[in-house]
Structure 1
Amino acid sequence: MEFYSGTHESFFDEEQNTPKSPTPLSFKTHHQLNISEIDKECSSPRPLSPIDQLPPQSPESPWTLSPLHPSPSLLFQCLTSLYRHDGNIFSIAVLRDLVFTGSESSRIRVWRKPECMERGYIKAKSGEVRALSAYANMLFSTHRDHRIRVWSISLSDKFRSKKITSLPRRNSFLLFPRSKFQQHHKDCISCLAYYHAEGILYTGSWDKTVKAWRMSDRKCVDSFMAHEDHINGIVVNQEDGCVFTCSSDGSVKIWRRVFGESSHTLTMTLKFQLSPVNALALSRSPDASFLYSGSSDGFINVWEKEKVSGRFNHGGFLHGHRFSVLCLEAIDGLVLSGSEDTTVRVWKREEGTSFHACLAVLDGHRGPVKCLAACLEMDTLAMGFLVHTASLDGTFKIWRVKVFSSETKLTMKLDDADTNDQKKKRAEYEICPVLSPAWVEKKRQG
């Protein structure tokens, strides 16, 4: 259902300027574009401008079909679908009962889960909120002016927010005149990650650098050239502080802070193929640790950590998406991946192995799935999740996913349960995914 809200319980304005509505896109219907034209445009290897909002495509994008039948051990449903006139949604963060979404506008929307009623918004001076991260009572956001804002969030019944600081501070060149490195990012800050134990915020940018910000004194304590191209994703291992970065140069790098210092050193480079890497996710369990990297060729590479040496070895890849993998999330033994092919896939690793099975394909968006966030939900019979997804079709969807154990696995005759209409729908999907006409037109013009 579509949802329009004209009232807000509370909000915080950093400035009074009203954000401009995004310019409407001209578009053709999907039937006016034949499949060969779409395939040709979506397989272009040339880099796209920031306006295109998408990483470059690889000509080797696989067209593997989705599973013909859903897994009997997983059920899912779309709880609601929201649409706001804030332009494309680039980022999602979850903090207890609140969900935050960042978009092309200067407003960060605040929703209450699970029903996702709007609680208000946070307004900043600069829009295009590319990345969001939340921890404790803090929310971190990146903006068009290449700066980071830190917000204090009230978790009481009535939503309140307050800006703590902006990084770097306007007068940072006066406070730290002898700084050995540039504190201001020179291009879009595409990703961020917070190391809880040390209070260090890491930011990755299209200017190819990573910066480390110490929250205790709000100071940039390190800045280093990490990649040869745009940095698209960054995650931190909360157990040992290792920093993982991925880039359009096709590599994933692992960094470790030098003992007793603020500087970072490169410990390992992971590069299995040349396709741009757009997203990372880290999964840790008592028996194993896995790193996942999503690429523009549609593959999700799996890297397994050796227990003795601590090195990450390539353990295979997950093959299912048709186009670029744009976002990843690992939670409690599951991996969720959002793709330019408009779908979200749910993968589960078999215990004691590196083999992953695709349990479900969440098919509902009509444009590339740009970001997602998942959180656990209490359930007595099954492992429950709330999955929040946002697409470049302008919609924000909330899914409820339940994963059953082998003892409580649902049994059903899938072949008998399929109606002719369902079989016809699957056959149509196997030919070509349903894409937003506006998105297809944007890709053609790119």
Structure 2
Amino acid sequence: MGKDGGKGSTTLEVTRTFKLNVPTSSAGENRLKGLEALTSKYGSRVVQPKEDLGCTIHFPELRFVFTGREDGSIAVWNLRSERSMSEAKFLHKHKGAVTCLLALEKGAGATLSPLLLSGSADSTIKLWDPSKVTQKGCEGACVQTLGGHGGTVTEMTRCGDYLLSASTDRTVRLWRTVHSRVATLYPWFELQKTLATCDGWVHSLCYDITHKVGDMGAIYAADSTGAVARFKPRPVEGATRGDRTHLEFDCVQNNGRVATSSPPPLVFRRLHDRGISHVRFLAELSIVLTVAYDNRARLYDSRTGQCLFVIENPHECCFTDVEWDEEHQQIYFIDKYGFFFVYDVQAEGMVFEKKLTNTPLVSIIYDKMLDSVAVSAKDRVEFWRISREVDYNALPGGHCGPVINVQVAMSGGEGSYIFSASLDNTIRVWDPYDMSCLRVLQEDRSEISCMVYSEGKSTLVTGHDNGCIRLWNLDTQSTINLTEHSNTVSCLVTAPLKRNEEFVLTGGFDGKVGIWDVRKKHSVRPHLVTMFEAHPNSEILCLLHDSIKATIITAGNDAVIKVWSATTYELVGEHRGHLEAVICLTLDANFLFSGSEDCSIRVWDSLAKGGTHVKGRTHIKTLQGHQRPVTGIAILEETGHLVSCSLDGSLRIWNYTMGEVLKTFRHKEELRCLAFRPDTNAMLVGTMQDNILLFPLPEDMHQLTRRTSSANSSVPAELKGYEDILEKLEEQEAAELAAAAAEEEEGYSSPDAH
């Protein structure tokens, strides 16, 4: 996520469409009974072979899903109906774990129907006819067994009429379809030769080709020593250029390392210090992608061997599989912690991250027809649809607990940051340019309950459930702890109570408001200036400071909004009307807005300095629309629109003078807090499901003024009469500012703490 589609930006979302659970196979049940019999006979426990899933492949045209298992069977699902999806069939021929699967499309290599190839730890490759899989069983589905390797078959790829296979016996072997066997119903593969012998186990093998006329493509093999070999197929002498039925793959040995004698020569050999688990050739981009056991993936220029980019797993674990989406120029990764990642080649960075499961993911396949991915864990296969036209961006790599506060500090230059606080007890500092996480501040002593950034003091302040506030040094992560509240500090705001001096206001579950001087001087440490009780026997949930009217506004679970003098700390007014706790507050000139657990937003006439309220006349309007508690509200200063978020998953933009919702964004997660980014005209929203979302605001919305609406520009009856009041108050404010400045020259009033 970033600036208007810049680095790290995305408009992706993935949604699970269905899940395939893996039952115990009949062979597995029989094997278990046999093991139990042996155990009872000999008195020692016999280990049962695992039935965990491994590789997965999808046949879209047949609507079949095949998954290899560690017990040597292949689970088969028919996706044509809910019943067939719930009843997996099993192919039983392999005597070892099924480690790789390859689909042979119809028409490829004399294939009259789609076929399946499977490689196994039993050193064999088997050819299957999926059409033989019926409701009654899978008899006759295996049509050929290929033997030749001396170790586990790790991966297979296809090049024209040729099949290439890799193995832990350190070889790459070449098989070819024999056309002379005209009586066979299926293509018949025969071993041609051992194409190469590598230093280590050959873990991965791939082939890709460009759309250029005459291009023969290239094959890449990667092994456990970190080496990568390239093989360029070429037509045999006398064959037509582009003919892929008669190819040569000439190789020579070079001190135990593979090198090709076909032009161009091998460009690079050892790419990693550790073994490579996956290699992919992106032919159209001339890029080789490698995934290694050092928790990194790398992109290389296939022509020069130069490393272009290094992709690190933010969770410091290995990527377990990778897929390439050519149409969208994106690479999909999964890892053992259950995360799914999207790397955008054009944006040169990770643009999406989501935890799909709590168990390791072992395989991923991309279906370009459905624009979806299928990921397999050890006991299930899940299909996730990729949505690319969503109206929000998801920030990759964030919190693992509800996000309770997001704050934007755009002071310009190197002092610009975005902060987020979470119930995972971390504060993350983000770079506004590309939304990369610059640092993580970890709190180990108490739960973080609120946060504010004092731009005037360049200090981050957090409130905690033990009643203390902490001032953070962003460079050293050291803190200054101040404790005065007797219960959770629930809210924090900054307030310029004195000219050129910014103070911090705190509200707590003890019903008290604290005013803190957070300046760090040689002789004076940060300290409490004063504290007064604002809501006896009630919890304060939100507060704000009105610098123009010199008032402090508090609200909480007693549903009453109270207005206090910022100089004498006396109660000067109240706003009553909410039916449940008031959670959030904001101001727009002389209008006060409050969001509540009663799902409403109320508009109030804020108290003018020195003025008094007439009972029952401070409430102007109620904005209805949210279905669950309103958790955050903010004013867009340039246009005057009100923005609100709620646990109902909606973000709404209001023309509050008309009482209209101009735009509604919806998300499946519960929205907890919000902050506006004026530089990108977007809202940052934290969710209860651990995410930070960015909602770009419409440009036409950005141009609307606060007193106009695209539908109706008339002033509603509730606000008639207030236009004149606003004009008079604006005239008074200029005089009040001058008077306030004169008062501040005389000194700052700090009565004793109550």
- The question of a shared fold, defined as TM-score above 0.5 by the shorter chain, is answered with yes
Q: Which amino acid aligns with 1:224?
A: L
Matches within 5 A, 1:39-58: none
Number of the residue aligned with 2:536: 273
Does residue 228 (structure 1) correspond to residue 494 (structure 2)? The answer is no
- Distance across 2 between alignment mates of 1:237 and 1:412: 35
- Distance across 2 between alignment mates of 1:127 and 1:135: 23
- Distance across 1 between alignment mates of 2:653 and 2:718: 28
- Distance across 2 between alignment mates of 1:357 and 1:225: 36
Across the two proteins, how many residue pairs are aligned to each other?
280
Q: Which amino acid aligns with 1:293?
A: T
2:560 to 299, 303, 317: 299
Map Cα deviations across residues 43-90 of structure 1 (whole Å, 9 max, x no partner). Answer: xxxxxxxxxxxxxxxxxxxxxxxxxxxxxxxxxxxxxxxxxxxxxxxx
Change in CA separation of 1:121 and 1:400 when aligned onto 2, cut-off 3 Å? farther
1:127 to 379, 401, 415: 401
- Distance across 1 between alignment mates of 2:607 and 2:357: 46
Structure 1 gaps of 5+ residues are 1-6, 23-115, 155-159, 169-182, 379-384, 415-446
- Distance across 1 between alignment mates of 2:425 and 2:718: 54
Map Cα deviations across residues 379-416 of structure 1 (whole Å, 9 max, x no partner). Answer: xxxxxx222222222322222334669xx9837699xx
Number of the residue aligned with 2:641: 386
Structure 2 gaps of 5+ residues are 1-8, 14-311, 316-334, 340-353, 359-389, 411-415, 658-705, 720-754
Q: Is the 8 A contact 1:280 1:292 kept in 2?
A: yes
Change in CA separation of 1:392 and 1:236 when aligned onto 2, cut-off 3 Å? same
Q: Which amino acid aligns with 1:282?
A: H
Per-residue deviation, 1:315: 0.9
1:117 to 379, 391, 396: 391
Q: Which amino acid aligns with 1:184?
A: D
- Distance across 2 between alignment mates of 1:367 and 1:291: 27
Per-residue deviation, 1:186: 1.6
Q: Which amino acid aligns with 1:132?
A: V
Change in CA separation of 1:151 and 1:228 when aligned onto 2, cut-off 3 Å? same
- Distance across 1 between alignment mates of 2:624 and 2:716: 22
Matches within 5 A, 1:212-291: 212-215=471-474, 217-238=475-496, 239-257=500-518, 260=521, 261-285=524-548, 288-291=549-552
Does residue 340 (structure 1) correspond to residue 612 (structure 2)? The answer is no
Per-residue deviation, 1:258: 6.0
Change in CA separation of 1:21 and 1:204 when aligned onto 2, cut-off 3 Å? farther
Q: Which amino acid aligns with 2:556?
A: S
Per-residue deviation, 1:282: 1.1
- Distance across 1 between alignment mates of 2:426 and 2:557: 27
Q: What is the TM-score with the length of structure 2 in the denominator?
A: 0.34
Per-residue deviation, 1:150: 0.5
SS at match of 2:605: strand
- Distance across 1 between alignment mates of 2:542 and 2:501: 21
- Distance across 1 between alignment mates of 2:620 and 2:357: 39
Per-residue deviation, 1:350: 5.2
Map Cα deviations across residues 310-354 of structure 1 (whole Å, 9 max, x no partner). Answer: 332211211010110011112333221110111011222254425
Matches within 5 A, 1:280-429: 280-285=543-548, 288-305=549-566, 310-349=567-606, 351-352=608-609, 353-355=611-613, 357-378=618-639, 385-402=640-657, 410=715
Map Cα deviations across residues 4-23 of structure 1 (whole Å, 9 max, x no partner). Answer: xxx9258998547334699x
Q: Which amino acid aligns with 1:400?
A: N
Change in CA separation of 1:185 and 1:333 when aligned onto 2, cut-off 3 Å? farther
Per-residue deviation, 1:131: 1.1
- Distance across 1 between alignment mates of 2:592 and 2:716: 24
Q: Is the 8 A contact 1:13 1:122 kept in 2?
A: no
Q: Which amino acid aligns with 1:212?
A: L
Q: Is the 8 A contact 2:428 2:441 kept in 1?
A: yes
Change in CA separation of 1:332 and 1:123 when aligned onto 2, cut-off 3 Å? farther
Q: Is the 8 A contact 1:299 1:318 kept in 2?
A: yes
SS at match of 2:478: strand
The CA RMSD over aligned residues, in Å, is 3.2
Larger Rg, first or second structure (1 or 2): 2
Moved more, 242-251 or 386-395: 386-395
**Structure ranking higher on relative contact order (CA contacts 8 Å, 6+ apart):** 1
Q: Which amino acid aligns with 2:425?
A: H
Q: Is the 8 A contact 1:146 1:185 kept in 2?
A: no
Q: Is the 8 A contact 2:516 2:526 kept in 1?
A: no
Number of the residue aligned with 1:193: 452
Per-residue deviation, 1:259: 6.1
Change in CA separation of 1:276 and 1:366 when aligned onto 2, cut-off 3 Å? same
1:184 to 441, 444, 455: 444
Q: Is the 8 A contact 2:564 2:571 kept in 1?
A: yes
Change in CA separation of 1:197 and 1:275 when aligned onto 2, cut-off 3 Å? same
Q: Which amino acid aligns with 2:553?
A: Y
Number of the residue aligned with 2:697: none
Per-residue deviation, 1:185: 4.2
Number of the residue aligned with 2:76: none
Map Cα deviations across residues 177-217 of structure 1 (whole Å, 9 max, x no partner). Answer: xxxxxx63421x221111112200111122322100133x2
Per-residue deviation, 1:120: 4.0
Map Cα deviations across residues 84-140 of structure 1 (whole Å, 9 max, x no partner). Answer: xxxxxxxxxxxxxxxxxxxxxxxxxxxxxxxx9324424314231111111113111
Per-residue deviation, 1:266: 4.0
Matches within 5 A, 1:136-175: 136=410, 137-154=416-433, 160-168=434-442
- Distance across 2 between alignment mates of 1:161 and 1:259: 30
- Distance across 1 between alignment mates of 2:313 and 2:490: 29
Change in CA separation of 1:19 and 1:313 when aligned onto 2, cut-off 3 Å? farther
Q: Which amino acid aligns with 1:190?
A: S
Does residue 208 (structure 1) correspond to residue 467 (structure 2)? The answer is yes
SS at match of 1:204: strand
- Distance across 1 between alignment mates of 2:406 and 2:314: 17
Q: Is the 8 A contact 1:256 1:267 kept in 2?
A: no
